[in-house]
Amino acid sequence: MLPHIFEQGFRLNSDGYVKQLKTVVNPWLEWVAAGRPYKILGNEKEMMELPAKRPKVDLQCLPTRAYLDQTVVPILLQGMSALAKERPPNPIEYLASYLLKNKNQYEN
């Protein structure tokens, strides 16, 4: 039987998630394996020390500022920085082109 890790709807940060892995999941794996060898792909110590990936956020539930910060602010800041550096005669077209050209780097 799988260990009970989180209550439904429980939220925590990456440090809390790693702590749960160390204190709940790993001991459970040891108990299930009962001394049988099992192979961890990759370096277990390094994997435990890596920051956890941020969970997907439900963008529709975010306040306006957080929604913009999560979706378009990073690429807009980079685009506007490039725009200020280049100072093209058609800044709106330049920015639009920059956004389309670089959008894959910023997609969630």
pLDDT digits (tens, 9 = 90+) for 11-67: 777 777 777 777 777 777 677 667 666 565 656 556 666 655 556 678 888 889 988
* pLDDT band for position 10 (cuts 50, 70, 90): low
Classify residue 65 as left (phi > 0), alpha (psi -120 to 50) or beta: alpha
Say what the pLDDT of residue 94 is.
Answer: 95
Overall pTM > 0.75: no
Say what the pLDDT of residue 96 is.
Answer: 95
Structural domains of the chain, ranges and CATH numbers in brackets: 1-55 (no CATH), 56-108 (1.20.890.10)
CA-CA-CA-CA dihedral for 13, 18, 24, 26, to nearest 10: 160
* pLDDT band for position 1 (cuts 50, 70, 90): very low
